[in-house]
Structure 1
Amino acid sequence: MTMPEVVLVEANPALLFKGVNDPGFDGAPIREVDPYGKHLSVFDLGFIRGDGIFEATSVVGGVPLAMKLHIARLGRSARLQDLPELTGEQEWLDVCQAAIDLWGQPEETGTIRLLISRGADPVTTVGQAGHPGTPTIFIFVDTVRTPRPLTLTGTLLTRGYSLELVRTAPERHPWLLIGAKTLSYTANMATYREAVRRGADFGIYTSTDGYVLEGGTSSLVLMKDGKLTTPIPDVGILHGTTQQEVFAYAERRGVPHEYAFVTVEELLDADFVWNMGGSRLSAVERIDDVSFAADTEFAAQAMAFFETERAYIEEYTTGPGIQRWL
């Protein structure tokens, strides 16, 4: 039997969000839809406003890597965006695994992506006739066509605000949604295009007062004198799931590691730098005019650890110093 290269399902929001009615699923957790068809209404706020959240990770051996970390971050994003509260971790794990089982290719490397919008726009006629306030949830699993490059080059790009603003944003400026993984990725993709124009593979956000934040769609970890350092999530960035896996790997190997306020000067003075996301790493060999030794062996060993030491990673990532950013 030939298995599909890509699977798309719509998930029942009544099973995944508290206080939400079943919009026609009759209690079923998911329904498979044609991945080549057209399914999202133009009256959906995800399409009209980019109003929603998402998560994505790699699938290896039929297992979505770091899925519990992604679900925890999804819950944080939902809270920041005033979406309904998630029902529970297991319900989300079950629907994700159901989609992966439909894909049915444990020998292949895949990607799973969860896309959640606020649902139908209640100010439109169509939205009022539908289920306004009920989130729309799509999940797809796709076969990876192009593996992540072993090495990348980066360029520094200002995000246009100071560290002081982002450190106080959750309390004083919650509408900025700093720390939420939203569907509104237009600026992030513009960052990528600008990086390409500058002859680089990805952009690295910096604050106006000289601190390193994150990549446009990725996290950064640097090593100096044998210690791993990553920008602390207090600078108003996503708490990278892959970065947490890297720190679990470092803990197991006895490599010192820390969260810190990282200046641009410290980044450019690093011995090694890695770019990461979706449980995958690439060594950074150049940032603008500064070159680095590309430690691809560390990246390969870390990724192998991600695939084989899930229990240890889950134990480490639920410990002290981690949960406060979820």
Structure 2
Amino acid sequence: MSTLVLCESPALGMPAVEPRVIDPATPLASATDLGLTRGDGIFESVGVHHGRMHDLEPHLERLAQSARLMDMPAPDLDSWRKAVELAVAELLASLSHIPVTVLCKLVYTRGLEAASSTPPGAPLGFALAYEFPDPTGPRMAGTSAVTLTRGYPLGIGQEAPWLTVGAKTLSYSVNMAALRHAAKKGAEEVVFTTSDGYVLEAPRSTVLIRNGDTVTTPAIEGGLLHGTAQRSAFDAFEALGLKCEYRDITVEELAEAEAVWLTDSAFLLRPLHTLDGRHLAVDSHLTASAIGRMLADAQ
């Protein structure tokens, strides 16, 4: 079951119209919408765990950042906030139970191709809330991954801003192709690396490693999306007495880390038990404690 809310004022400067619930089967995108024909748009996925929304404001901030990087009209964050809250509330009210996890996907496209220059096409915006399969088992059992190169060096976003590194765009073909390649190699996930030997991120997650009492994630200046769940995970680890830091991580450090996790809005935190076919240690107690704190910190 899902709930679809049309955000009819997705961009600042558009006439104010309250978001409204519509039938999820309603056609929304024109055949000339640039989000459909070119992947020219952005998105976010907000997690709702045990009926409580998680990190909505950081997601909205990142939506605005992605719009800036994509030269899209600034999103009307108040309208988007209402759309997400309405979609989640309507879905939860329609269910006979409180799901373990719900995701609410925000989709924001540039608009119609035929009107994309003069005048600019009206952007399309909607929020889709749906029940996500129970992530409890994978959170504790962990997952497997392979390392794959992105094919560019660390910091390419500063040298080539047109690559829109750091924006969460609808252009996900490379990410999906990487996951299919991983599946052929018997793994569930991918950890992207740079051509000069540094760790980036996973297609749908941020990478964390632990050595001693320090948890580290790659510095976002290297060309990464700043993870929302990662920030929550850092808060949880710090509350548990660990130090947390952002810095560049080499592929060698990843392979030698005492623990590795992927963090995202749906699963919150998953340990890697296998990387490139090699078994990794899993700290089940620390993982469970961190997830417990992340869940407790939800709005």
TM-score (norm 2): 0.91
CA–CA distance in 2 between the matches of 1:9 and 1:146?
A: 24
Show the counterpart of 1:157: 148
CA–CA distance in 2 between the matches of 1:143 and 1:87?
A: 26
Worse-superposed segment, 30-39 or 277-286: 30-39
Structure 1 stretches lacking a partner, 5+ long: 312-326
Corresponding residue to 2:2 among 1, 6, 24? 6
Show the counterpart of 2:13: 19
CA–CA distance in 1 between the matches of 2:176 and 2:265?
A: 17
Show the counterpart of 1:75: 64
- Secondary structure of the 1:138 match is strand
CA–CA distance in 2 between the matches of 1:91 and 1:123?
A: 23
CA drift at 1:142 = 0.4
1:210-289 to 2 correspondences below 5 Å: 210-278=197-265, 280-289=268-277
Worse-superposed segment, 151-160 or 140-149: 140-149
1:58 is the counterpart of 2:54? no
CA–CA distance in 2 between the matches of 1:162 and 1:290?
A: 25
Worse-superposed segment, 296-305 or 260-269: 296-305
CA–CA distance in 2 between the matches of 1:66 and 1:231?
A: 20
Worse-superposed segment, 296-305 or 67-76: 296-305
1:107 is the counterpart of 2:98? yes
1:165-204 to 2 correspondences below 5 Å: 165-166=155-156, 169-170=157-158, 172-204=159-191
CA RMSD of aligned residues (A): 2.1
- What letter corresponds to residue 122 of structure 1 in structure 2? A
Q: Deviations over 1:182-238 (max 9, x none)?
A: 000010000100110111111111111111111121111011112101111111010
1:293-308 to 2 correspondences below 5 Å: 293-308=281-296
Q: Deviations over 1:273-315 (max 9, x none)?
A: 111111511110011132211223333322222222247xxxx
Q: Deviations over 1:218-260 (max 9, x none)?
A: 1110111121011111110101111111111122222111111
Q: Is residue 220–residue 230 contact of structure 1 (8 Å, CA) maintained in 2?
A: yes
Q: Deviations over 1:142-185 (max 9, x none)?
A: 0123526231001010100111x52xx33x42211010000000
Worse-superposed segment, 78-87 or 140-149: 140-149
CA–CA distance in 1 between the matches of 2:49 and 2:190?
A: 27
1:48 is the counterpart of 2:42? no
CA–CA distance in 2 between the matches of 1:29 and 1:61?
A: 27
CA–CA distance in 1 between the matches of 2:52 and 2:114?
A: 37
Q: Is residue 108–residue 124 contact of structure 2 (8 Å, CA) maintained in 1?
A: yes
Runs of 4+ in 1 over 6 A off after TM superposition: none
Structure 2 stretches lacking a partner, 5+ long: none
TM-score (norm 1): 0.83
Count of aligned positions = 291
